[in-house]
Amino acid sequence: MGSPAMSTIGSFALLLALGLSGYSFLAGLLALFNRNAVSARLGETARRAGIAAFAAVLLAAIVLVIAAFNNDFSIAYIFHHSNRELPGAYKFAVLWSGQEGSLLFWSLLLAGYGFVLRLRYKTDQRLFAYASVIIASVQVFFLLILNFAARPFGIIQGGIPADGSGLNPLLQYPEMVIHPPMLYLGYVGFTVPFAFALGALIMKYPGEKWIHITRRWTMVTWCFLTIGVFLGAHWAYAVLGWGGYWGWDPVENASLMPWLTGTAFLHSVMMQEKRGMLKVWNMALIFATFLLSMLGTFLTRSGVISSVHAFAQSSIGTWFLVFIALTVAVCTYFLVRNRSHLKSEHKLESLVSRESSFLFNNLLLLTLCFTILWGTFFPIISEFVQGHKVTVGAPFFNRVAVPVALLLLLLTAVGPLLAWRKTSIESLKRNFLYPAIGAVAVGGMMILFGVRPWEDPSYFYATMAAILAALVIFTVISEFLRGGRVIAGKTDQNLLSAMVQLCHRNTRRYGGYIVHFGVALVIIGILGTPFNKEVEKEMGFGDKIFIGPYTLVCQSYTQDDNPNYGNEWAIINVFRGGKQITTMYPERRFYKASGQPQTLPRIYPSFLEDLFLVNDVYLVYEGKNETTGRPIIKAHLNPLVPWIWIGLIIMVFGTIVALVPNAVVVRVAATTPVRTPAHVGAGD
């Protein structure tokens, strides 16, 4: 049972954090405007206050977690999101399972990022001071909400209940312990490059150093967001039980939008680093990414748009709207006022160049982002104009976004083959010929195997996606092979170790290629969707379902009970070619505290039987027919889906490779005359 002390400590910690963050913001701001010894000391106190704010927010978060473990139902948040029999891991996850807790978690992560940033201030004291003040301002916003609008330590009215209402059953799944932290690390993380960018703009920071400083921050953040988005998709696949992983739900869209602009930023920022171009554009992109992260939180919290998994809705949407409007005003003001500082240093020399490929890549990513934003908000626009809402669901997004995504995939294949400044048509032909032949062959094979792209738009898109994904894979492989052969020829290594060395010499470039390879695998996983099959049937003992090459035989049903939930299982034997390959246990649970039922599908990926054309056998125990009393089983056969998750792992691996420092640094003494040409990256 709880004690009021926990609530008091938590509330005090949040109030203290607000005071410290407010001081960090105001004192830091004053210190930036005056350059004297007093201001320097004031700036230092602001930095330390920012660090102390992290300790205070951390204390508040720890108190909330302890309250969850202690079943302190005197705290309303704990009562609404936990219960006595909730397993320990989910009690920990209570921190981000509801409105107030997840805002506290947002604040904690932001304070954590700010803590690291403020410790590393010696890299560039003035730029870091600007970034610190901007982060403090965002922190103040979240702490204001936590202290006055969405209080996690609010006391329950009346007597203290004996047990809590329990956690939403949909959230009681192992991935929910890691999916929200990953997504939030991504959302919150974009505050750091945003803060550096805005700081650099305000102080008219010379050169591109702010980009170098934030490059790793941005990549790590992007990686977290990528993991978060995909884990969300996997959670939807493994928990919601409708056989799909992406439903274009507003909350899913909210996570995808900053990912798209963040991806555009990661590409276009290279143009600024290498060629001093697109400076205004990069500023606008990182501002947009931060704002879209905030918009995502607003969508999840405000309830302005109905969503299948907007778990925590309240009236704090107004707070977010005001904050977003203020941020837009500040960013626009400085962008206009200091635009002369952002003039491009070079001109574009050829349309067939890496620069123009980045431009078009950005255009397509932004179009995709706009399409999703437009589709997500169109119901509200429709209500305003027509007086009634309309639904903008999967059919709209699939029809509009898929063609743009295919163009983007084409650019993913072609872009890396283009050189900076100018590419000759001859070299393009030389680099492109074999990958193009391979990709066309893949398309031909699909038609040979019975896919008829002219019969149905979804088959057409699937065929195009297969061709383009193959093109991406073949261009990546050809790039590795070409570079690897050069190194192998010079160093007498075998090709594989030469390619590893190649990768190590220019981790960012080849890490990026690995990410592209992962993206192509994800696309391959998605293109199986039009070929999904499903069968629903009431199944008694010994009844069979035939789906694709599989025969599913109902062996039995069983029940179990534990303090948290009771459950029913179907025991289904899976046969292929007359041989039993596995047994699956689709399940239905009844959570006692919340009184809510939930189905838990079971998934069998057929890697052992099909190495490349892998299927997911996906079984859902839907419940019992009320009339006959017989259980209903729904079986899905989802081709290629496992490639999506493998693609994610490769994307993450590629990002990690890109984060590793280069192994070979070419050093030339400043006074030494150079008699031989300097080394340039292979394939450039």
Partner 1 sequence: MKTVASTQYSVPSDPIRRWLQASALALAVVVFMGAGDSAARFKDLGHRMMCACGCGQILLECNHVGCTYSDKMRDQLQAGLDKGDNDDLILQAFVQDYGPTVIAAPTASGFNRVAWIMPFVALGLGITFVIFVVRSWKNRPTPALADGIMIPHGSELDALRQKARKETDL
List binders of partner 1 among 398-437 (CB under 8 A): 399-401, 404, 420-421
Contact region with partner 1 (CB under 8 A), list: 258-266, 345-353, 523-531, 539-547: 345-353
The CA-to-CA distance between both ends of the chain, in Å, stands at 66
Among 599, 640, 634, smallest CA distance to 616 is for 640
498 is a site residue for partner 1 (CB under 8 A): no
Contact region with partner 1 (CB under 8 A), list: 110-118, 152-160, 387-395, 537-545: 387-395
Of 326, 329, 332, 349, which lies in the binding site for partner 1, with binding defined by CB under 8 A?
349
72 is a site residue for partner 1 (CB under 8 A): no
For residues 482 and 480, give the distance between their C-alpha atoms in angstroms, rounded to a whole number: 6
The residue among 48 and 592 lying less far from partner 1, judged by its C-beta, is: 592
The residue among 28 and 247 lying less far from partner 1, judged by its C-beta, is: 247
The residue among 151 and 588 lying less far from partner 1, judged by its C-beta, is: 588
How many angstroms separate the Cα of 198 from the Cα of each of 154, 287, 309? 36, 8, 33
622 is a site residue for partner 1 (CB under 8 A): yes
371 is a site residue for partner 1 (CB under 8 A): yes
Of 92, 173, 378, 585, which lies in the binding site for partner 1, with binding defined by CB under 8 A?
378
For residues 544 and 538, give the distance between their C-alpha atoms in angstroms, rounded to a whole number: 10
Of 38, 351, 440, 447, which lies in the binding site for partner 1, with binding defined by CB under 8 A?
351
382 is a site residue for partner 1 (CB under 8 A): yes
Q: Which helix (H) or strand (E) holds 534?
A: strand 533-538
For residues 87 and 174, give the distance between their C-alpha atoms in angstroms, rounded to a whole number: 11
Q: Which of residues 545-574 bind partner 1 (CB under 8 A)?
A: none
597 is a site residue for partner 1 (CB under 8 A): yes
φ/ψ region of 421 (left if φ > 0, alpha if ψ in -120 to 50, else beta) reads: left
For residues 179 and 433, give the distance between their C-alpha atoms in angstroms, rounded to a whole number: 41
The residue among 149 and 363 lying less far from partner 1, judged by its C-beta, is: 363
For residues 321 and 295, give the distance between their C-alpha atoms in angstroms, rounded to a whole number: 8
Q: Which of residues 296-335 bind partner 1 (CB under 8 A)?
A: 306-308
391 is a site residue for partner 1 (CB under 8 A): yes
Nearest approach, Cβ of residue 273 and partner 1 (Å): 8
Nearest approach, Cβ of residue 109 and partner 1 (Å): 28
Among 320, 334, 8, 353, smallest CA distance to 142 is for 320
Among 322, 291, 506, smallest CA distance to 416 is for 506
394 is a site residue for partner 1 (CB under 8 A): yes
DSSP characters for 100-117? HHHHHHHHHHHHHHHHHH
620 is a site residue for partner 1 (CB under 8 A): yes
Q: How many residues bind partner 1 (CB under 8 A)?
A: 71
Query: Residue 71 in contact with residue 81, Cβ under 8 Å?
Result: no
531 is a site residue for partner 1 (CB under 8 A): no
592 is a site residue for partner 1 (CB under 8 A): no
For residues 41 and 45, give the distance between their C-alpha atoms in angstroms, rounded to a whole number: 6
For the CA atoms of 259, 263, 268, 269, the dihedral, rounded to the nearest 10 degrees, stands at 80
Query: Residue 587 in contact with residue 597, Cβ under 8 Å?
Result: no
Among 479, 506, 475, 483, smallest CA distance to 409 is for 475
Contact region with partner 1 (CB under 8 A), list: 182-190, 397-405, 425-433, 435-443: 397-405
Helix (H, G, I), strand (E, B) or coil at 598: strand
Q: Which of residues 625-654 bind partner 1 (CB under 8 A)?
A: 634
Query: Residue 124 in contact with residue 145, Cβ under 8 Å?
Result: no
Radius of gyration from C-alpha coordinates of the chain: 27
Nearest approach, Cβ of residue 479 and partner 1 (Å): 11
Q: Which of residues 659-678 bind partner 1 (CB under 8 A)?
A: 666, 668, 670-671, 673-674, 678
Q: Which of residues 255-284 bind partner 1 (CB under 8 A)?
A: 270, 273-275
Q: Would you give the binding string for partner 1 spanning residues 229-248, x where CB under 8 A is met?
A: ------------xxxx--x-
173 is a site residue for partner 1 (CB under 8 A): no
The residue among 71 and 598 lying less far from partner 1, judged by its C-beta, is: 598
